[in-house]
Structure 1
């Protein structure tokens, strides 16, 4: 059942010392903002600093602001500073927004960047937004997708060491293909064309450069084709992104973080959006970091945040229940 427009979108401001508040103000004040009801979650003191440098007032925008009260109201934010209390505040915003979505009080969430090192300073184990939100949701199968107007990429593994990333499993690859397929349909592509990357150079070259492609990836692709998913692979990763960006496929399945991230960021850094799949809620995010080096200087663009907001609104409008799995 599709959501009745306008959808309610909650936006988290990320690390208070980063550019999250700045890019959010810029996106929400830009022409072409999609029709939706917006809630912004953060700390008033962080917003005040961003208002001062951008000249954009949150109170003048068509949004509701939720002050989480994590930071002292009489202490200006130290922009660009790594602090444990800032990491804890950013985590609180994500937690509260996730719970809102789980309770049905919001249709989707959009996250500004937080800093993993700041979170770790507070003694919190954290590997990424997707993994943390999945834990809050009780989701056992989640993965990351990057999407732009020209191409989308979904990852079999993300925030793990390369040594761990090459430990493939057919089941994990199958589920990643399924999640990517479902996500593309929820974004309006009726029959996504999917290419699945090989792990090794030249997709293993028939075992000359490794056996993982034939042992795990090829059987996973065959299983998905049996389920009427239009996919092919394993295909050499060094050429498929070139072809897919020119229209051969809608979605590429990458085996590990950099295999998918590097070409997507080269293709369209500003408009590429991060989406978490396998969750009972919709979450999109900017695909850049806290940018401590330019925070507080009014240099950060709101274009990527606008793209993340647009995708959240689109997914909320198109979302349908996941098909039953036998």
Structure 2
């Protein structure tokens, strides 16, 4: 079994956004900085800009910078949508992913990038989770939002609502199983899982649609036979209230907004984005590039600190699981 501090790669995100600022401010906290061997993946120009806006000296943090050479030495234009910034942000994610796959680090934490800036390079890009899954050679990735009170995993994320309504029982089963294993990595020995319905009131026994009975109920029953403590389909409009008060550890949402809206209302700053279904540990802040406040030292580092803490926790639990195996 591994011991000591895990090694964590932290990507800078879009250079024109708040990624560099929240990273420097997070690492200025001694508790965060001492929780792992941290390696920042980015470019010196982005670090210089973050130092100027925050007043935090990177050299004084005792953290390694792995320079990618994706940017020149020109000053960063905060808040500007640029193809070269999107290209650099993707390069940081690529390099951190390769470090994880090559066992150079135990986990990666990503600062936000801008999807539009990435696509300006002619690259089809729907999000971090899907891109990292592609690099890892897997297709069944999922997004988990993990908070201090509650966690949510999504059957579908970055697709249209019309497409998300095309349910598949096998995909729902896989989502429940991935969520169950992820919660164990977060320290829940027997996670209590509630599976949302798709329709109002979980279909009301077919009155508001048949998808809940035809696709979701069989998935829940299949997972229960495999020893997973799950129930559903449950009414989406009430389960989050109950779960936030302690009835469940994890909710399975059928689509993006069904899970994201209540989680961000419950605890935006402490909610961490986790990629599942991939062979590496990846956590992320659950906010965007915030171009409107970038370079003004207004962005809170709380979410970045939470993402680093969760990566450390998951790395330690993975070590423990590997030792048992």
Task: Describe the SS at the equivalent of 1:109.
Answer: strand
- Residue 66 of structure 1 aligns with which residue? 66
For residues 256-294 of structure 1, give each alpha carbon's deviation from its aligned partner in whole angstroms, at most 9, with x where no partner exists: 000000000000001100000011000000000000000
* Structure 2 CA distance for aligned equivalents of residues 4 and 85 of structure 1: 40
Task: Describe the SS at the equivalent of 2:35.
Answer: coil
- Residue 6 of structure 2 aligns with which residue? 7
* Structure 1 CA distance for aligned equivalents of residues 27 and 113 of structure 2: 19
For residues 2-60 of structure 1, give each alpha carbon's deviation from its aligned partner in whole angstroms, at most 9, with x where no partner exists: 54221000000000000000000011111421521000011100110110111101111
- Residue 264 of structure 2 aligns with which residue? 265
Gaps of 5+ in 1: none
* Structure 2 CA distance for aligned equivalents of residues 3 and 81 of structure 1: 43
What displacement does 1:140 show? Answer: 2.0
Normalising by structure 1, report the TM-score. Answer: 0.97
- Residue 110 of structure 2 aligns with which residue? 111
Task: Describe the SS at the equivalent of 1:136.
Answer: helix
Give the number of aligned pairs. 322
Alpha-carbon contact 1:13-1:93 (below 8 Å) kept: yes
What displacement does 1:141 show? Answer: 1.1
* Structure 1 CA distance for aligned equivalents of residues 134 and 145 of structure 2: 20
* Structure 1 CA distance for aligned equivalents of residues 66 and 83 of structure 2: 21
Normalising by structure 2, report the TM-score. Answer: 0.97
What displacement does 1:217 show? Answer: 0.3
1:237 to 2:236 alignment = yes
Gaps of 5+ in 2: none
* Structure 2 CA distance for aligned equivalents of residues 315 and 110 of structure 1: 12
Task: Describe the SS at the equivalent of 2:31.
Answer: coil
* Structure 2 CA distance for aligned equivalents of residues 4 and 211 of structure 1: 51
| RMSD between aligned residues | 1.4
* Structure 2 CA distance for aligned equivalents of residues 277 and 32 of structure 1: 27
Alpha-carbon contact 1:5-1:317 (below 8 Å) kept: no
* Structure 1 CA distance for aligned equivalents of residues 264 and 18 of structure 2: 19
Task: Describe the SS at the equivalent of 2:275.
Answer: strand
